[in-house]
Copies of this chain bind each other. A is one copy, B any other.
Amino acid sequence: MRKLISCEEAVKKIKSSSRIMVGGFGLVGCPLSLVDALADSEVKDLEIISNNLGEPGRGLGVLVRQKRVKKAIGSYFTSNPEVVKAFQDKELEVELVPQGTMSEAIRAGGAGLGGFYTPVSVGTKIAENKEERILNGKKYVFQEPIKADFALIKAKKADTLGNLIYNKSARNFNPMMATAADVVIAEVDEIVESGQISSEEIVTPHLYVDFIVLSGGK
C-alpha cells in the first residue's frame, strides 16, 4: 500500500516553523501517535491550527510543554492551564476564532474560496480587527480561509487507496482539515482493502490523503 508510512517517516517531512493543522476536539479525534512522534522529533517554532491544545502533558499539550508551539489558532485553549501560562509568559501567540467560524474557514481553505461573511462575532472583541459589512440588512464579518502546510488527522479506517471514514464524534475537524493542507497525513486505527468501505459511506475521498500511518505504529 503505497501511502502507508511509519509515524517517524511522517514527522520527518515536517520542518521547523511549519503551519500544521491537527484534528480533534480535545483528545477525541486527535492523531495522538503522530503528535507523540512530533514530540520525539527536533522540530520547533510550530504554528498549530487546532480547536484546543490538548491537556497538560497530553496530546498537543506535550508540544506546548516542550515549548515547540510558537502560535496557536483555535477556539478554546482555556482548558489547558499550561497554554494560559505560556500565553501570559509571552512564549505562545494565540489567535482565537469562534468554533464554527474556524471549521468554516478551514473548509473554505480547502474549497478554494477567498473568504466568506459570517454573522458570528459581529460587535464582539473577536471581530475588532475584522471587516464588517451589511448584507441584506444584516451585519456580517469577513473571515479569511485557513490553510496549512500539513494536516495531521485521525480517522477510524482507511482503505488501501486512502479513502477514510471516522468514528462517531471523533470526526469533528478532521474531514475539513483533510482538504486544506498541502500535505495530509492520516492516522488510522485500521486499514482495509480498497472496495471494503462503501462508496456511499466514504467521508474523505482518497484524493485528499497523501500518507497514512497506523495508530500506535512506530
Stretch from A66-74, A75-83, A87-95, A135-143 at the B interface: A135-143
User: Are A138 and B114 in contact, with the CB atoms below 8 A?
Assistant: yes
A173 at the interface (CB under 8 A from B): no
User: Are B140 and A135 in contact, with the CB atoms below 8 A?
Assistant: no
Chain A, interface residues (CB within 8 Å), range = 20 to 34
Stretch from A15-23, A38-46, A115-123, A187-195 at the B interface: A115-123
List the interface of chain A (C-beta within 8 A of B): 104, 108, 111-119, 133, 135-136, 138, 140, 144, 165-166, 168, 198-201
User: Are B114 and A108 in contact, with the CB atoms below 8 A?
Assistant: no
Q: Give 15 pairs: A residue, B residue, CB < 8 Å, sorted on A.
A: A104-B111, A108-B116, A112-B119, A113-B117, A113-B140, A114-B116, A114-B117, A114-B119, A114-B136, A114-B140, A115-B140, A116-B116, A135-B144, A166-B200, A201-B201
User: Are B116 and A113 in contact, with the CB atoms below 8 A?
Assistant: yes
Give the residue among A116, A138, A144 with the most B Cβ atoms within 10 A: A116
- Please pick, from B115, B166, B201, the residue contacting A116 in the complex, using a CB distance under 8 A: B115
Q: Give chain B residues whose Cβ lies under 8 Å from the Cβ of A144.
A: 135-136
State how many angstroms separate the Cβ of A54 from the closest Cβ of chain B.
25
Interchain CA distance A200-B198 in the complex, whole Å: 12
Given contacts A115-B140, A135-B144, A166-B200, could you give 10 more A-B pairs where the C-beta distance is less than 8 Å?
A: A104-B113, A112-B119, A114-B117, A114-B118, A114-B119, A114-B136, A114-B140, A115-B117, A198-B201, A201-B201
Which residue of chain B lies nearest to A203 when distances are taken between CB atoms in the complex?
Answer: B200
State how many angstroms separate the Cβ of A143 from the closest Cβ of chain B.
9
State how many angstroms separate the Cβ of A120 from the closest Cβ of chain B.
8
Interchain CA distance A138-B114 in the complex, whole Å: 8
Q: Give chain B residues whose Cβ lies under 8 Å from the Cβ of A113.
A: 104, 116-118, 140
Q: Give chain B residues whose Cβ lies under 8 Å from the Cβ of A133.
A: 114
Q: Give chain B residues whose Cβ lies under 8 Å from the Cβ of A136.
A: 114, 144
